[in-house]
Amino acid sequence: MTCHFIGLFEEEKLIGIVLTQFLFAEKLESFGERDKCLKTSVRNFALKNFASHVLFVGNNMLTGQNAFIFDKTIKESKAIKTLHKAINQLKKELKESGKKVHITSIKDFTAKEIEPLQAEFKNNYTFSTQPNMVFEINKNWKTEQDYIDALSKKYRDQYKRARKKSEGIVKQQMSLSDIKQYEDVIYDLYFHVAKNAPFNTFFLARNHFSFFKEIMGENFLLYGYFIDKKLIGFNTLIKNGDVMDTYFLGYDESVQREKMLYLNMLYDMIAYSIKKGFKEIVFARTALEIKSSVGAKPVKMYGLITHSNALINHNISRFFNYLEPKTEWQERNPFK
């Protein structure tokens, strides 16, 4: 992955910033190993040969609008037109250095946020993937107990059962030196979960978590879960103003099943965010049903995509729907 920051200027004044990530996806050993079938093989072949150089405008490692921000005094349509020119210039420079962009994708936007982009990027296909699971924190909740009291009996029982199962697990917020000490175990736990996902466009570097902690300090939290001093799982959080972004996690599969570890992690994230006065938690777009069972709601997200090959671009809606893994799930409502 190669990252670029783009500055948009009016005269000498910086009026907008944009984040892009250029992925060399052919370097991946796997795009996802969970679904072993012919469709997966065809998908992997197609991705490797026609879609492996991907330019994301936005942050492919987080869910939500993390692509750009403009000065409020600037006309949005003008800023987006300038953004379009900047993306074309970046693609030209990448091509000149021998890195042709196959696919350009601008992501992740709500239905309202995507409209001005659709008006400017007319030859792009608008796609929608799995929803972003967002947990709104009731402004009257001050403690975890307030959350528990708001649950219906069925989901209070689920909470109690999960907490009982987690007996014997010790949870610890890990400092930079702790993260460095356990770096290899953390990575192995992360990689086990990541490679079993239905679809991947990247794998993190081994030192990713210590690097983040070093740069972000108290705005990046990593919690380790231990049994008899052995690290068996971890999760990470990013403080983003009054929003809590959940980040990557990992766990030992055998312990996760027996101890309902993943569910307990979700409850822990909710408890911490309530206690610290956050307004919402972005739970992102995996494990939709279990996140729904703790109170997260789906928010439909959209992006724009275009291919450098005119024939493929003309049929991109068909290709996209074929290549994008579909997930069937049932929405839950755990509250009274």
**Choice among 91-100, 122-131, 310-319 with the minimum mean pLDDT:** 310-319
188 contacts 131 by C-beta, under 8 angstroms: no
pLDDT bucket at 328, cuts 50 / 70 / 90: confident
Residue 33 has pLDDT above 70, yes or no: no
pLDDT in tens, 35-77: 455 555 665 555 555 667 899 999 989 999 999 999 999 999 9
For CA atoms 282, 287, 288, 291, give the dihedral sign.
Answer: negative
Structure tokens at 14: 């910086």
Tell me the C-alpha distance between 236 and 3, whole Å: 22
pLDDT in tens, 222-276: 999 999 999 999 999 999 999 999 999 999 998 999 999 999 999 999 999 999 9
Tell me the C-alpha distance between 46 and 315, whole Å: 14
pTM for this predicted structure: 0.89
Give the residue from 86, 102, 10 showing the smallest Cα distance to 54. 102
Residue 156 has pLDDT above 60, yes or no: yes
Residue 34 has pLDDT above 50, yes or no: no
pLDDT bucket at 321, cuts 50 / 70 / 90: confident
Query: Which residue would you say has higher pLDDT here, 55 or 286?
Result: 55
282 contacts 63 by C-beta, under 8 angstroms: yes
Per-position b or e across 151-170, b if 16+ CB within 10 A of its CB: beeebeebbeebeebbeeee
Beta-sheet pairing, 243-251 with 280-284 = parallel
pLDDT of residue 31: 44
Average pLDDT over all residues of the chain: 91
10 Å CB burial of residue 180 (0-12, 13-18, 19+) is: middle
pLDDT bucket at 111, cuts 50 / 70 / 90: very high
**Choice among 31-45, 152-166, 216-230 with the minimum mean pLDDT:** 31-45
Cis peptide leading into residue 71 (ω within 30°): no
Q: What is the residue whose two structure tokens read 């946020």?
A: 113
Compute φ and ψ for 331, nearest 5 degrees: -75, 140
Residues with Cβ within 8 Å of residue 172, at least 6 apart in sequence: 178, 223, 224, 226
